[in-house]
Amino acid sequence: MEREKVLDVKNLYAVFKIQKKEYEVLHDISFDVHRNETVCIVGESGCGKSVTTLCVMGLLPKNGRVISGSIEVDGTDLTKLSANEVRKFRGKKMGMIFQEPMTALNPLLTIGYQLRENLMLHRLVDKKTADKMAVEYLTKVGIANPESRLKQYPFQLSGGLRQRVLIAMVLSAQPDLLIADEPTTALDVTIQKQVLSLLNGLKKDMNAGIMFITHDLGVVAEIADKVVVLYAGRKVEEGSAQQVFNDPRHPYTVGLMKAVPNVDKDEFVIEPIPGMFPNITEEIPGCRFNPRCAYTKQCPLCTKEAPEMLEVEPGHFVACHLVKENAQ
Partner 1 sequence: MTTEKKKLLELRKLKKYFPASGGRSLKAVEDVSFVLYQGEKFGVVGESGCGKSTLGRTILQLYQQTSGSCVYYGKSIQELNPKYIRKEISKLKSYQQDASRFYQKSLEVDKKAAEINEQAMSLDPDGSSKDAKKYDKLRREVLKLELQSKELRKDASRSLREGSRTIGSLILCKDLDKIVELFNKAEDEVKAAHDTFVSYDKLKTQFEANETAIDQALNVDAWIAEVEGKGELNEQEQYHLADLKYIKSQVAGVNVEKLKADNEALRPKMEELEAEIKKHHDIEMGYRQEAFDKYHGKDILPITELTLDKEYQDKLDRNYETGINLAKLTPEEMRSIRPDLQMVFQDPAASLDPRESIGKAIEEVFEIHTKLPKSVRRQRTLRLLNEVDLKAEHYYAYPHSLSGGMKQRVGIARAIALDPSFVVLDEAVSALDVSVQAQILQLLNKLRDENNLTYLFITHDLGVVKHFCDRVLVMYLGNTCELADSWDLFHNPLHPYTKSLLDAVPRMRLGQEENEEDILQGEVPSPINPPSGCPFHTRCKHCMDICRKEKPKSVEAEPNHFVSCHLYDKKKEN
Q: Where does this chain bind partner 1 (CB under 8 A)?
A: 44-45, 158, 160-161, 188-194, 196-197, 200, 215-219, 221-222, 241-242, 245-246, 255-257, 259-265, 268, 270-274, 276-277, 279
Supply the Cα-derived Rg of the chain in whole angstroms.
Answer: 21
Select 68 or 262, whichever has its Cβ closest to partner 1: 262
H/E run at residue 55: helix 49-57
Select 49 or 116, whichever has its Cβ closest to partner 1: 49
* Helices and strands (H and E) in the chain: how many: 12, 12
Select 9 or 105, whichever has its Cβ closest to partner 1: 105
* CB neighbour list of residue 141: distance below 8 Å, 6 or more residues apart: 164, 165, 167, 168, 171, 198, 202
Q: In the 8-state DSSP scheme, what is residue 90?
A: B
Taking each helix axis as running N to C, give the angle between helix 111-122 and helix 127-140, from 0 to 180 degrees, rounded to the nearest 10: 110
Select 192 or 296, whichever has its Cβ closest to partner 1: 192
Q: How far is the CB of 10 from partner 1 (least distance, A)?
A: 28
H/E run at residue 137: helix 127-140
Q: How far is the CB of 103 from partner 1 (least distance, A)?
A: 17
Q: How far is the CB of 104 from partner 1 (least distance, A)?
A: 19
Q: How far is the CB of 261 from partner 1 (least distance, A)?
A: 4
CB 23 within 8 A of CB 16: yes
Q: How far is the CB of 246 from partner 1 (least distance, A)?
A: 7
Select 66 or 236, whichever has its Cβ closest to partner 1: 236
